[in-house]
Amino acid sequence: MSALREATPMTALVEVRNLAKTFDVSAPWLNRVIERRPRQWVHAVDGVSFNIERGTTLALVGESGCGKSTVARLLVGLHKPTAGEVRFDGQGIAHTLAGPQALALRRRMQMIFQDPYASLNPRWKVRDIVGEPLSEHRLVRDESELKDRVVELLRSVGLVAADMDKFAHQFSGGQRQRVSIARALATQPEFLVCDEPTSALDVSVQAQVLNIMKELQRSRGLTYLFISHNLAVVRHVSDRVGVMYLGCLVELADKATLFAQPRHPYTRMLLDAIPDIAMSGRSRTPVQGEVPNPLSPPTGCSFHPRCPHANERCRQERPALLEIQGVRVACHAVQEGRL
Amino acid sequence: MSGALTRFLDGDVWHCFKRSPLAMASALVAFICVFCAAFAGLVAPHNPTDLASLELADALVPPAWLPEGQAKYLLGTDAQGRDILSALMYGTRISLLVGMASVLVSMVVGVGLGLVAGFVGGRTDAFIMRVCDVMLSFPAILVALLVDGVGRALFPTAHDTLAFVVLIVAISLTGWVQYARTVRGSTLVERNKEYVLAARVIGVTPLRIMRRHVLPNVLGPVTVLATIQVASAILIEATLSFLGVGMPVTSPSLGTLIRVGNDFLLSGEWWITIFPGAVLVMIALSVNLLGDWLRDALNPRLR
Amino acid sequence: MTQALLEVKNLRVEFPSRHGTVLALDDISFSIQPGEILGVVGESGAGKSLTGAAIIGLLDPPGRVAAGEIRFEGRRIDNLSYEEMRKLRGRHIGAIFQDPLTSLNPLYTVGRQLTETIRTHLPLSAAQARERAIALLQETGISAAAQRFDQYPHQFSGGMRQRVVIALALAANPKLIVADEPTTALDVSVQAQIISLLKRLCKEHGAAVMLITHDMGVIAETCDRVAVMYAGRVAEIGPVQAMIHAPAHPYTVGLMGAIPAMNEDRESLLQIDGAMPRLNAIPSGCAFNPRCPHVMPRCRNERPELLGAGPTRAACWLHDASGAT
């Protein structure tokens, strides 16, 4: 029989406990009064818990509306959580970010964004873009030291010193993403949150950027949270994978196990949906339906309308994320042994 | 600096300019007006503010090309013997100064409030926007009249320079709203862009983000707005002066000149009021055309 | 031998600008047989969307066809007037674009847009057009088609909208459909549905498809043949199986190697150093020569034509039968 137990907390670099974030998307007050509309909320993240060990990469995958980008932003303090907490190196970040130690904490965690065209200020030179964290955190004494560090950072991502005086629009998408990485590494952080860093890039450019990121992780012992919707990319970069659906974690396992033996029906569906380049002719169950509207999520388990194994319990009761044979799954069918 | 200049000359805006005869013509006209106004002391044939140099005998001389005109007074003289051409240049200077100063004040206040409203959001944003709405429901002229009246009541004796300041305040009191709304809209867009988020993650303070990241990126539409508003500020000032509550006769702007000349219109000395009117139209038109061209030139989709 | 449905011969598309004329497509040649699905794959800037636009006749001015010809069912279409092209579009050539949100007019109901298209090209009465439209909606997998007929685009989800767009494209029974990145804006699970729908419907209606995408996986699932584009030129063209398992052009080899695979773990992905050249700075000779691991002196001077390389044809001197370097 499967052993069901709550996972015990470990002292990892990043610990997330019951994180939740709700956005108020109600119409303006006047409209609500006149049109008699109720207040509306979107539970973008609805009770998510995981750990990330030092030097490893946790990938979060899911489709639109699953909340993975919101989790990324919560982890770097761009949003304040509605509930739950994020702990970095043992300390809750919400408290630290509001206090005098905020800058010191920010030095240790940075973020890389998805859109290479919007992540660099179009009016700034690369030298200023990459140098901003250095001057903001007062890590350099003078102009020439700043210049040296910027050159060093640019070289570490495969760019040249001459690129320092160029503007963002003079670079291609892949090169801009490298500038973003250089900027993120300026303060020598330990933890990097990567929000779909290669989704907007061509395949060959993506390969370059992913290789750089892996190399940097190896040489600097970085810890990554890697957000993506592309399972093939996730397979290449991650150590552990978490699958999200409508704000909840539905499966969390190490990479090999997840890809070899996916447990949750949604994970299986995602893996089946990946186009088959090798055309090995594996059997694929046809995919059903679409991600529901986050404003009115289904009752019980939010995946039940699309799940071929849903029963009455699934419609009523939301499954908890429980550990089964080393894998955390939120699914009644799996927990009951039906799957 | 030279790097920026070469980039500008290489750029699309300058290229569009060279290809548009209308833009070049308006720029030329505007430039001539500004030049004459700035260097009126050197360019004007006479000095209308110097009461000692006026000759009453030369009063109401028609323009030089009419039978009774004199070559000395190219566009004729007014009731006190002041040369119209020189009065125009000095008057243009006053008009332009008032126009540009009030636009500058409007811009600083408007851009500042717009940035804050867009960036901070929430109640601050709502409050500032409601103030904008209220300001917009008052006609600019009436507000200016009100401010002017209050100013005169408070400082009955002081004149010229105070009239200048009061006029600028009156015009900019309604002018800043346009900037605030435009900048607020652009700020709302820029605020969610990833480079601003990156700055927040780095730990840059909100004030510095607003000033160093967002501000340079929202100034584009502001330039166009400022150019067009200079024209409307000049016109508002002219209206106020025409109504008698603007610049006094001792340092007349174009509007004052029009008012003074208006009394002589029906008695046949048309040149005293028509020429200031023509110059006013010319300046307003050329600045407006330039502003329109600039808006199209800066819009990449229309090129 | 059946006549090709679409034939593109030595097509050149250029964009005159004040900086000089930029050659966006340089001597493109390929053909599509009736009922065949041809994939056009390439990275951004390669010119694949431009090729589709040139064929449908929707090139953004100042872009224009500078040389070469496009023949549809033997008839030249690149030099047609706007009005003649308009009649051709929709009736014989359908189009599916990337963003379903902007492909549909938000102010009209879905049904009205469908019937409008149908009645523009086919001599049907309003009632017949409505029936056909509902039938099309059902075919594309939209349940309760009769009710959804009267709904507006914003009441559909992304995947549903794309199905409507497919229905619109098939409305007048065209012989060729040009699909420009039809699934890029959709979620992964929906992508799979739409791709299989497109494939099935086109086979059923007997329409040929020109599928433009950057996603090799989609190509692998759907297409019969594929053309790989690089810097405005065709690098390789051939049957899809051969292209994936035995690519001949070094760029195609690099492209296949750069894609992370689902069935194997690799330490690092094969990467092609450098980037695709900008259209105004294309190297002389073979456009790929600065990045090619097998570059020869000849590659820097002479531009290769599509040469036979086993099952595919590749524009690469490595496959020159004469063996000259």
**DSSP code per residue over C51-69:** HHHHHHT-PPTT-EEEEEE
- Which has the closest alpha carbon to B30: B178, B303, B228? B228
Task: Tell me which chain A residues have a C-beta less than 8 angstroms from the C-beta of B217.
Answer: 121-123
Separation in Å, CA of B126 to nearest CA in chain A: 11
Residue B214 covered by a domain:
yes
**C158, C190, C258 member nearest A203 (Cβ):** C258
Of A240-254, A278-292, B274-288, least confident by mean pLDDT is: A278-292
What are the pLDDT digits (tens) for A62-111? 988 889 999 999 999 999 999 999 999 988 998 888 888 889 999 999 99
Task: Tell me which chain B residues have a C-beta less than 8 angstroms from the C-beta of A103.
Answer: 203
Identify the pLDDT of residue A279. Answer: 62
Residue B72 covered by a domain:
yes
CA A229, A234, A239, A241 dihedral sign is positive
The proportion of chain B whose per-residue pLDDT surpasses 70, expressed as a percent, equals 95
- d(CA A7, CA A17) in angstroms, rounded, equals 11
b/e per residue, A163-176, with b = 16+ CB within 10 A?
bbeeebeebbbbbb
Question: Do the chains contact at A111 and B197, CB–CB below 8 Å?
Answer: yes
Band (pLDDT 50/70/90 cuts) for residue A1 is: very low
Question: Do the chains contact at A118 and B198, CB–CB below 8 Å?
Answer: no
* A-interface mutation test, from C49, C188, C194, most A Cβ less than 10 A away: C188
Question: Do the chains contact at C188 and A270, CB–CB below 8 Å?
Answer: yes
Mean per-residue pLDDT over chain C, rounded: 87
The proportion of chain A whose per-residue pLDDT surpasses 90, expressed as a percent, equals 48
Residue B112 covered by a domain:
yes
Task: Tell me which chain C residues have a C-beta less than 8 angstroms from the C-beta of A230.
Answer: 188
Q: How many domains does chain B have?
A: 1
Residue A7 has pLDDT above 50, yes or no: no
Identify the pLDDT of residue C29. Answer: 92
Question: Do the chains contact at A106 and B203, CB–CB below 8 Å?
Answer: yes
Q: What angle do CA C212, C218, C222 make, to 5 degrees?
A: 85
Average pLDDT for residues B57-65, to the nearest whole number?
81
Identify the pLDDT of residue A280. Answer: 55
Average pLDDT for residues C181-189, to the nearest whole number?
84
- d(CA C21, CA C32) in angstroms, rounded, equals 29
Identify the pLDDT of residue A11. Answer: 66
A115 in contact with B at a CB cutoff of 8 Å? yes
Task: Tell me which chain A residues have a C-beta less than 8 angstroms from the C-beta of B195.
Answer: 118-122
Band (pLDDT 50/70/90 cuts) for residue C324 is: low
Residue B200 has pLDDT above 50, yes or no: yes
The proportion of chain C whose per-residue pLDDT surpasses 70, expressed as a percent, equals 98
**A76, A77, A119 member nearest B194 (Cβ):** A119
Distance of CA A135 to the CA centre of its chain: 28
Note which residues in 258-277 of chain A have CB less than 8 A from chain C. Answer: 259, 269-270, 272-277
Which one is predicted more confidently, B151 or C10?
Answer: C10
Residue B216 belongs to domain spanning:
30-45+61-302
Identify the pLDDT of residue B249. Answer: 76
Question: Do the chains contact at A136 and B200, CB–CB below 8 Å?
Answer: no
Residue B24 covered by a domain:
no
Identify the pLDDT of residue A9. Answer: 44
Band (pLDDT 50/70/90 cuts) for residue A150 is: very high
E strand or H helix that includes residue B249: none
Average pLDDT for residues C182-199, to the nearest whole number?
85
Task: Tell me which chain C residues have a C-beta less than 8 angstroms from the C-beta of A278.
Answer: 220, 244, 261-263
DSSP string, C116-173: HHHHHHS---HHHHHHHHHHHHHHTT-SSHHHHTT--GGGS-HHHHHHHHHHHHHTT-
Q: How many CB pairs (< 8 A) connect A and B? A: 53
Note which residues in 282-311 of chain A have CB less than 8 A from chain C. Answer: 286-287, 290-291, 293
E strand or H helix that includes residue C265: none
Band (pLDDT 50/70/90 cuts) for residue A2 is: very low
Residue A229, CB-side half-sphere exposure with 13 Å CA sphere: 20
Asked if C238 and C60 count as a contact pair (C-beta separation under 8 A), the reply is no
A192 in contact with B at a CB cutoff of 8 Å? no
Identify the three-state secondary structure at position A300. Answer: coil
Residue A167 has pLDDT above 70, yes or no: yes
Q: Which residues pair with B287 in a beta bridge?
A: none
Task: Tell me which chain A residues have a C-beta less than 8 angstroms from the C-beta of C263.
Answer: 278, 280
Beta-carbon contacts of A55 under 8 Å, excluding residues fewer than 6 positions away, are A217, A221, A222, A223
Residue C39 has pLDDT above 50, yes or no: yes
A157 in contact with B at a CB cutoff of 8 Å? no
Distance of CA C289 to the CA centre of its chain: 25
* C-interface mutation test, from A63, A229, A236, most C Cβ less than 10 A away: A236
* C-interface mutation test, from A202, A210, A259, most C Cβ less than 10 A away: A202
CA distances (Å), origin A307, targets A333, C190, C281, C300 = 10, 15, 52, 57
Beta-carbon contacts of B159 under 8 Å, excluding residues fewer than 6 positions away, are B248, B250
Which one is predicted more confidently, C136 or A275?
Answer: C136
Q: Where are the beta strands (DSSP E) in chain C?
A: 6-17, 20-32, 37-41, 64-72, 75-76, 93-96, 176-180, 208-213, 225-230, 233-239, 307-309, 312-314
Residue B268 has a CB neighbour count (10 Å cut-off) of 9
Residue B241 covered by a domain:
yes
Residue C317 has pLDDT above 80, yes or no: yes
Separation in Å, CA of A122 to nearest CA in chain B: 8
Residue in B with minimal Cα distance to A114: B194
Q: Say if strands C233-239 and C225-230 run parallel, antiparallel, or are unpaired.
A: antiparallel
Domain segments of chain A: what residues?
A: 14-288
Band (pLDDT 50/70/90 cuts) for residue A270 is: confident
Identify the pLDDT of residue A169. Answer: 84
* Tokens 């524009």 sit on residue: C315
Residue in A with minimal Cα distance to B214: A121
Extract the tokens encoding A172: 């291609």
E strand or H helix that includes residue B292: helix B271-298
Q: What is the CATH number of domain A14-288?
A: 3.40.50.300
Residue C46 has pLDDT above 90, yes or no: no
What are the pLDDT digits (tens) for C191-240? 888 888 888 888 888 899 999 998 888 888 889 999 999 999 999 999 99
User: A114: left (phi > 0), else alpha (psi -120 to 50), else beta?
Assistant: alpha
DSSP assigned state of B77: B
Residue in B with minimal Cα distance to A135: B204
A136 in contact with B at a CB cutoff of 8 Å? yes
- d(CA B108, CA B105) in angstroms, rounded, equals 5
**A107, A118, A136 member nearest B195 (Cβ):** A118
A119 in contact with B at a CB cutoff of 8 Å? yes
By the 10 Å C-beta count (0-12 exposed, 13-18 middle, 19+ buried), A142 is classed as exposed
What are the pLDDT digits (tens) for A23-77? 988 877 777 888 888 888 889 999 999 999 999 999 999 988 889 999 999 999 9
DSSP string, A201-222: S-HHHHHHHHHHHHHHHHHHT-
Identify the pLDDT of residue A129. Answer: 94
Of B101-110, C92-101, C205-214, least confident by mean pLDDT is: C92-101
Question: Do the chains contact at A121 and B203, CB–CB below 8 Å?
Answer: no
Looking up residue B149, the CATH number of its domain turns out to be 1.10.3720.10
Question: Do the chains contact at C220 and A277, CB–CB below 8 Å?
Answer: yes
Mean per-residue pLDDT over chain A, rounded: 87
Residue A204 main-chain phi, psi, to 5 deg: -70, -35
- d(CA B70, CA B83) in angstroms, rounded, equals 11
Q: What angle do CA C314, C315, C318 make, to 5 degrees?
A: 80
Identify the pLDDT of residue C325. Answer: 63
A76 in contact with B at a CB cutoff of 8 Å? yes
Identify the pLDDT of residue A82. Answer: 93
Task: Tell me which chain C residues have a C-beta less than 8 angstroms from the C-beta of A157.
Answer: none
CA distances (Å), origin A130, targets A76, A160, A197, C28 = 19, 13, 17, 42
**C158, C221, C265 member nearest A275 (Cβ):** C221
3-state helix, strand, coil in chain B (%, to 5): 75, 0, 20
Residue B274 covered by a domain:
yes
Residue C308 main-chain phi, psi, to 5 deg: -65, 130
Q: Where are the beta strands (DSSP E) in A259-329?
A: 322-324, 327-329
- Which has the closest alpha carbon to A69: A97, A52, A44, A94? A44
Asked if C54 and C78 count as a contact pair (C-beta separation under 8 A), the reply is yes
What are the pLDDT digits (tens) for B124-147? 999 999 999 998 888 888 887 888
- d(CA B208, CA B205) in angstroms, rounded, equals 5
Task: Tell me which chain A residues have a C-beta less than 8 angstroms from the C-beta of B201.
Answer: 76-78, 106, 109-111
Average pLDDT for residues C31-36, to the nearest whole number?
92
Asked if C241 and C224 count as a contact pair (C-beta separation under 8 A), the reply is no
Separation in Å, CA of B197 to nearest CA in chain A: 8
Residue B93 covered by a domain:
yes
Q: Residue C62, preceding bond cis, omega within 30 degrees?
A: yes
- d(CA B289, CA A163) in angstroms, rounded, equals 40
Asked if B91 and B252 count as a contact pair (C-beta separation under 8 A), the reply is yes
Separation in Å, CA of A121 to nearest CA in chain B: 6
Identify the pLDDT of residue B47. Answer: 80
Band (pLDDT 50/70/90 cuts) for residue A4 is: very low
